[in-house]
Chain A
């Protein structure tokens, strides 16, 4: 195994992408939940705060992970190449 294999080099564009997606995640998770009591206006038959916690948040989480996987395919095309390195048997 190479010199700096365990210390990964991070592409700044990838780090920025992560930062953006993690911010969305944090706002959805903690922001919306914090104000859930104030967000109970009705959205059709649903109180919005309840719908957000029970369904909306989960759908957004899926979107975050899917976006990340899709964008990373462009940013790091090498990751789709077959693995030629040996497994590490520590």
Chain B
């Protein structure tokens, strides 16, 4: 097939379509830019971008609709490597990459803080994982002509449990991941159209569903290619613009080194600025107050309540303005209801205040690797070792998790040959790197913009986007005149990681069209990943569980229909969970990497490279790896601890943060699978044959 004339003509046709599509996209942008200059209001631009992009994806979905199982599950295994690479890149780059990563790099610098490792670990982790995918997994799975990742476990190990556990693990990690995507969709849609967060989620979901519901893998592939182009443009245009504005050269990754140096100088200046120190001192005082309250929660709560009631009473007695009384009443009502809530809320407030009382508002110096100091006091040495250890652990988990995430691996089932699966991985990492090399540059350029231009401006002339974003979600941005001097200090700004990318165009003074494009890019990233994940979950439910465990007599066509309805219901459940705004996007995504890493990778790698691995070993390895990871994640999650009445805080092993739980799960999975395989009988004959006869 790769060399045949028909295949070449097919590829030529695809290239032509792609060029037409890109030209159309640019024409649309220019048209919108022209309309904005001639007075089209912002009020309309956001919704236009939102609906135009969602409708376009839906149109591709409708055009590629199919009920043929081969097309629905693996796109007919006919996607050329470059296009599959683009689709995989869009599938891969989620809301976390697009929305949170540049922001995370802005906040975390090289390696993050002691409390939260991050920074460049994400850049390296999410690209280096493709080495493992290419070398150890993707081509080997492609060779077997499978449909889902649990299929591999069924074919290689036979029996029921390897498949069932793999399917459950695939559902678990994909579901955690999809919640984060839907949260991202809601965030962007509500910002773009000004509707409520919950309605934003429904609007965005409509696009996902039309596409994956109608055409399965085939439709998803081509929408993902379309979405990749949108998200690439949306990422590179603002970065290039900022780089051109600050440095006179739009190729940001090549030139942003100059700004690194200036940021280091500005960081020094800010650390010694008296106004900044004043702000830090105020935060330190607040932290101490919270700490004092935490010493006697019950008493403090009583005192607070009495004070607030007293205030309401005196206000009423003095006949104060009703708005003031309402405000005081609201403060009274906002006090924690019981001791547990008070403890949780005040602990968080105390930690945040302590964090912001540190130099630079708790942000690490941008280009300094790891916190602490290897040559400093014992405490600093400890901080350094822990920071470095957590950085390496996080990177390990992200890389190994990449090699285990089912929605990514199934993307390589769709190439025509094994060799093309390999080159497709190479295309994927290339297309991903285009964005990932620009993300650290964006973080640096935005930081310079904030430090150099925004800090020091007057509170009376703050740019309007600050208030607009604060309205979407108060946790995204808070700017308050802490020391009352009407001038904005660095320490008075608190930005959430999720909004930095989305606010970049406004920060850099770009036309509003670019804001619309960036939001559309974020939407594309979230939608494309959500598409792939929903398909993975519904296929695992229907193909690997329902058709084997519950109803054996399902024709392939019925299976497709069942998959479609499973997809619909999973999407709705995920939407309901996402409306409760569970957590920031990045931690949620990282958790699913730990799960995927420990559930799939050890047993898959052993199964491919070590013939002695048998069914019992596989089951034991998966259960042990997944079990350890889930235990570590839950036992260190604050809500879980509160629920079981355990002391707050964490029980860490070797100081590793729960986000990197997979660092324990992966080796345990390997070890258990090897030991149990050696202890039990080798497989007498290939399991695949046995399962085939069973049907």
Q: Do A and B bind each other?
A: yes
Where the two chains meet, the residues of A that have a C-beta atom closer than 8 Å to any C-beta of B are 1, 3-8, 10, 18, 21-22, 25, 28-30, 33-34, 36-37, 40, 44-47, 49-51, 53-55, 57-59, 61-62, 64-66, 68-69, 72-73, 76, 79-83, 85-90
Chain B residues, Cβ within 8 Å of A58: 123-124, 127-128, 433, 436-437
Contact between chains at B417 and A40 (CB < 8 Å)? no
Q: Is the interface of B mostly helix, strand, loop or mixed?
A: helix
Q: Which of A25, A30, A61, A68 contacts B422 (CB 8 A)?
A: A68
* A36-B110, A45-B260, A80-B420 known; A65-B425 Cβ under 8 A: yes
Contact between chains at B689 and A3 (CB < 8 Å)? yes
Contact between chains at B156 and A6 (CB < 8 Å)? yes
Contact between chains at B135 and A46 (CB < 8 Å)? no
Query: Bound complex: CA of A45 vs CA of B691, how far in Å?
Result: 61
Contact between chains at A87 and B70 (CB < 8 Å)? yes
Query: Bound complex: CA of A54 vs CA of B367, how far in Å?
Result: 10
Q: Cβ of B498 < 8 Å from any Cβ of A?
A: no
Chain A residues, Cβ within 8 Å of B1: 82-83
Query: Bound complex: CA of A55 vs CA of B258, how far in Å?
Result: 15
Query: Bound complex: CA of A47 vs CA of B256, how far in Å?
Result: 12
Q: How near does chain A come to B251, taking the closest CB pair, in angstroms?
A: 12
By Cβ-Cβ distance, the 7 closest A-B pairs, closest first, are A45-B257, A36-B369, A79-B418, A82-B1, A90-B154, A79-B419, A69-B422
Residues of B371-410 at the interface with A, using a CB-CB cut-off of 8 Å, are: 374, 384, 388, 391-392, 395-396, 399
Residues of B108-141 at the interface with A, using a CB-CB cut-off of 8 Å, are: 110-111, 120, 123-124, 127-128, 130-132, 134-136, 139-140
Query: Bound complex: CA of A10 vs CA of B135, how far in Å?
Result: 13
* A33-B124, A33-B395, A82-B416 known; A90-B151 Cβ under 8 A: yes
Contact between chains at A65 and B70 (CB < 8 Å)? no
Q: How near does chain A come to B334, taking the closest CB pair, in angstroms?
A: 43
Q: Which of B131, B154, B155, B261 contacts A22 (CB 8 A)?
A: B131
Q: How near does chain A come to B552, taking the closest CB pair, in angstroms?
A: 13
Contact between chains at B257 and A51 (CB < 8 Å)? yes
Q: How near does chain A come to B182, taking the closest CB pair, in angstroms?
A: 29
Chain A residues, Cβ within 8 Å of B253: 55
Query: Bound complex: CA of A61 vs CA of B128, how far in Å?
Result: 6
Q: Mark B249-267, 1 if CB is under 8 A from A, else 0.
A: 0000100011011000000
Beyond the given A44-B257, A69-B419, please list 14 additional residue pairs across the A-B interface where CB-CB is below 8 A: A4-B686, A7-B156, A7-B686, A25-B128, A36-B388, A37-B369, A46-B257, A47-B260, A57-B128, A58-B433, A58-B437, A65-B130, A87-B77, A90-B691
Chain A residues, Cβ within 8 Å of B691: 90
Q: How near does chain A come to B477, taking the closest CB pair, in angstroms?
A: 26
Residues of B306-361 at the interface with A, using a CB-CB cut-off of 8 Å, are: none
Contact between chains at A46 and B426 (CB < 8 Å)? no
Contact between chains at B429 and A34 (CB < 8 Å)? no
* A29-B395, A90-B151 known; A47-B429 Cβ under 8 A: no
* A49-B369, A53-B120 known; A65-B260 Cβ under 8 A: no
Q: Which residue of B lies closest to A89 (CB)?
A: B147
Q: Cβ of B411 < 8 Å from any Cβ of A?
A: no
Query: Bound complex: CA of A18 vs CA of B111, how far in Å?
Result: 29
Chain B residues, Cβ within 8 Å of A4: 686
* A6-B155, A45-B258 known; A65-B426 Cβ under 8 A: yes
Q: How near does chain A come to B121, taking the closest CB pair, in angstroms?
A: 8
Residues of B576-617 at the interface with A, using a CB-CB cut-off of 8 Å, are: 608-609, 611
Query: Bound complex: CA of A50 vs CA of B111, how far in Å?
Result: 10
Contact between chains at B608 and A21 (CB < 8 Å)? no
Q: How near does chain B come to A70, taking the closest CB pair, in angstroms?
A: 8
Q: Cβ of B687 < 8 Å from any Cβ of A?
A: yes
Q: Cβ of B423 < 8 Å from any Cβ of A?
A: yes
Q: How near does chain B come to A88, taking the closest CB pair, in angstroms?
A: 5
Query: Bound complex: CA of A5 vs CA of B155, how far in Å?
Result: 9
* A58-B127, A62-B430 known; A79-B685 Cβ under 8 A: no
Q: Cβ of B440 < 8 Å from any Cβ of A?
A: yes
Contact between chains at A53 and B124 (CB < 8 Å)? yes
Q: What are 14 A-to-B residue pairs whose CB atoms are below 8 Å?
A: A1-B688, A5-B686, A33-B388, A36-B111, A37-B370, A53-B110, A55-B253, A55-B437, A58-B128, A65-B429, A79-B139, A82-B417, A88-B146, A90-B155
Of B261, B688, B689, chain A has the most CB atoms within 10 Å of the CB of: B688
Chain A residues, Cβ within 8 Å of B384: 37
Q: How near does chain A come to B181, taking the closest CB pair, in angstroms?
A: 24
Query: Bound complex: CA of A18 vs CA of B83, how far in Å?
Result: 26
Q: Which of A1, A37, A80 contacts B2 (CB 8 A)?
A: A80
Contact between chains at A18 and B135 (CB < 8 Å)? yes
Contact between chains at A88 and B688 (CB < 8 Å)? yes
Q: Cβ of B218 < 8 Å from any Cβ of A?
A: no
Contact between chains at B134 and A73 (CB < 8 Å)? no
Contact between chains at A85 and B145 (CB < 8 Å)? yes
Q: Which residue of B lies closest to A66 (CB)?
A: B426
Contact between chains at A18 and B369 (CB < 8 Å)? no
Q: Which of A18, A79, A86, A90 contacts B417 (CB 8 A)?
A: A79
Q: How near does chain A come to B523, taking the closest CB pair, in angstroms?
A: 25
Q: How near does chain B come to A46, taking the closest CB pair, in angstroms?
A: 4
Query: Bound complex: CA of A33 vs CA of B125, how far in Å?
Result: 12
Chain B residues, Cβ within 8 Å of A59: 433
Of B128, B139, B155, chain A has the most CB atoms within 10 Å of the CB of: B128
Q: Cβ of B40 < 8 Å from any Cβ of A?
A: no
Contact between chains at B134 and A62 (CB < 8 Å)? no
Q: How near does chain A come to B384, taking the closest CB pair, in angstroms?
A: 8
Q: How near does chain B come to A44, taking the closest CB pair, in angstroms?
A: 6
* A37-B374, A65-B429 known; A76-B260 Cβ under 8 A: no
Query: Bound complex: CA of A37 vs CA of B135, how far in Å?
Result: 30
